[in-house]
Structure 1
Amino acid sequence: MGTDSTPGDGSIFADERLLDPEYLPTDRFAGRDEEIASIEYAVTPIVFGTQPDNVLIHGRWGTGKTTCATYSIRREVQHAREQGVRAGFVYVDCGDRPTETNVTRTVAQRLNDPSITELAIPETGLSLREYRDRFRTVLDARYDVVLVVLDRMDRMDDETLPLEFVLSDADGPRDCAVGIIGICDGVVEDVANEAVESSLWDSHIGFDPYGRDELLEILDPRLDAFADGAIVDEAISRAASIASEPYGNARTAIDLLRFAGERADERGDSVVTAETIESVAADVETIRTREAIASLPRHSRLALLALASVSSDRPGESVRTTTIHEAYEGVCRDHDTRPRTARRLQDFLNEHADLGFTQTAAHWGGRGEGNYKTHRLTVDPEVIALVVDDR
Structure 2
Amino acid sequence: MLLEFDDEDGLIRDRALLDPNYVVEEDRIVGRDDQLREVTRMLRVALGDNRPPNLFLYGPSGTGKSLITKAVCNNIARICDGRELGFGTIEVNCQDLDTLGTAVYELAEQAAEQADVEVAVPKHGVATKEKWDELFRILNENFDSVVFVLDELDMLVGRRDKQEPAFSRLLYQLSRAGADDGLSAFVSVVAISNDTKLMEAVGSRALSSFTPEDVHFDDYDADQLQSILRRRKDAFREGVVDDDVIPLAAAFAAQTHGDARKAIDLMRVAGELAEREGESRVTESHVRRAQARVEKNRVLEVIRGISTQKKLCLYATAAVAAQRNDGSARSTTGYRVYQYLTDAIDVDQYHQETYVNKMKELTTYSLVDFERRSHGPSSGMFLEFQFGERPQTILETLREDSRLGSISADAVRSVVNAQTSGRT
TM-score in same-fold range (> 0.5): yes
Instruction: Confirm or deny: 8 A CA contact 1:149 1:182 kept in the other structure.
Output: yes
User: What CA distance in whole angstroms lies between the structure 1 residues aligned with 2:151 and 2:105?
Assistant: 16
Structure 2 vs 1, CA of residues 67 and 47 (structure 1 numbering), >3 Å: closer, same or farther?
Answer: same
Query: 1:171, 1:270 → 2: CA distance?
Result: 63
Change (3 A) 1:145 1:384: farther
Counterpart contact for 2:316–2:334, Cα < 8 Å: no
Contact 1:36 1:68 in 2 (8 A): yes
Q: 1 CA distance for matches of 2:182 and 2:118?
A: 23
Q: Indicate whether 1:231 and 2:244 are aligned.
A: no
How is 1:190-229 mapped onto 2 (pairs within 5 angstroms)? 193-194=201-202, 198-199=207-208, 200-229=210-239
Mapped to 2, the partners of 1:376 and 1:44 lie a distance apart of: 39
The DSSP-based 3-state class of the residue aligned with 1:136 is: helix
Q: 1:244 to 1:133 in 2, by over 3 A?
A: same
In 2, Cα distance between equivalents of 1:363 and 1:214? 34
Whole-angstrom distance in 2 between the partners of 1:226 and 1:116: 36
Residue 156 (structure 1) shift: 0.7
Q: How does 1:340-355 map to 2 (within 5 A)?
A: 345=357, 348=360, 351=363
Q: Secondary structure at the match of 1:79?
A: helix
Output the amino acid matched with 2:360.
Answer: F
Measured in 2, the distance between the counterparts of 1:109 and 1:360 equals 40
Aligned residue for 1:69, secondary structure, equals helix
Which of 175, 186, 207 is 1:167 aligned to? 175
CA contact (8 A) 2:61 2:366 kept: no
1:271 partner SS:
coil
Q: Distance in 1 between matches of 2:175 and 2:198?
A: 26
Moved more, 139-148 or 169-178: 169-178
Shift, 1:194, TM fit: 3.0
Report the equivalent of 2:107.
Answer: 107
Distance 1:32 1:307, change over 3 A: same
Query: Which amino acid in structure 2 is aligned with residue 308 of structure 1?
Result: L
* Cα distance change, pair 6–13 in 1 and its aligned pair in 2 (3 A): farther
Structure-to-structure mapping, 1:70-149, within 5 angstroms: 70-112=70-112, 120-149=120-149
Q: Aligned partners of 1:95 and 1:364: how far apart in 2?
A: 37
Aligned residues: 363
The alpha-carbon distance between structure 1 residues 351 and 308, as it changes in their structure 2 partners (threshold 3 A), is closer
1:166–1:178 contact (8 Å) kept in structure 2: yes
Change beyond 3 A, Cα 1:84–1:63: same
Are residue 33 (structure 1) and residue 42 (structure 2) matched?
Answer: no
Amino acid paired to 2:74: R
Q: Report the alpha carbon displacement of residue 101 of structure 1 after superposing the two structures with TM.
A: 0.9
Taking the aligned partners of 1:100 and 1:192, their CA distance within structure 2 comes to 19
* Preserved CA contact (<8 Å) 1:6 1:16: no
Q: Which residue of 1 aligns with 2:60?
A: 60
Query: Structure 1 vs Structure 2: percent identity of aligned residues?
Result: 23
Counterpart residue number, 2:154: 154
Counterpart-to-counterpart distance in 2, 1:260 and 1:21: 15
Encode CA deviations 1:284-313: one digit per residue, 9 max, x unaligned. 23234456779xxx99x9985461366699
Q: Secondary structure at the match of 1:188?
A: coil
Name stretches of at least 5 consecutive residues in structure 1 with no aligned partner.
331-340
TM-score (norm 2): 0.69
Tell me, yes or no, if the aligned pair for 1:308 and 1:385 is still in contact at 8 Å.
Answer: no
Flag the 1:263–1:191 CA change in 2: closer, same or farther, 3 A: farther
- 1:66 and 1:284 mapped to 2: Cα distance? 21
Query: Residues 268, 195 of structure 1: CA spacing in aligned structure 2 closer, same or farther, 3 A cutoff?
Result: farther
Residue of structure 1 in register with 2:186 after alignment: 177
1:44-70 residue CA offsets vs partner (Å, 9 max, x unmatched): 222222221011111211122212111
SS at match of 1:233: coil
- Change beyond 3 A, Cα 1:152–1:311: closer
Q: Aligned AA for 1:307?
A: C
Letter in 1 for 2:394: D
Q: 1:282 aligns with which of 264, 284, 292?
A: 292
Q: Does the residue aligned with 1:62 lie in a helix, a strand or coil? A: coil
- CA shift at 1:253, angstroms? 1.8
- In the TM superposition, residue 236 of structure 1 has moved relative to its aligned partner by 1.9
The worse-fitting range, judged by mean Cα deviation, of 220-229 and 128-137 is: 220-229
Please give the root-mean-square deviation of Cα atoms over the aligned residues, in Å: 4.5
CA 253–36 in structure 1, closer or farther in 2 if over 3 Å, else same: same
Counterpart CA distance in 2 for 1:305 and 1:343 is 11
Q: Do the aligned partners of 1:154 and 1:195 also contact (CA within 8 Å) in 2?
A: no
For the 8 Å contact 1:108–1:135, the answer to whether it is kept is yes
Q: Which residue of 1 aligns with 2:196?
A: 188
Distance 2:5 2:22 in 1: 15
In structure 2, the gaps of 5 or more residues are 159-164, 324-328, 343-352, 402-424
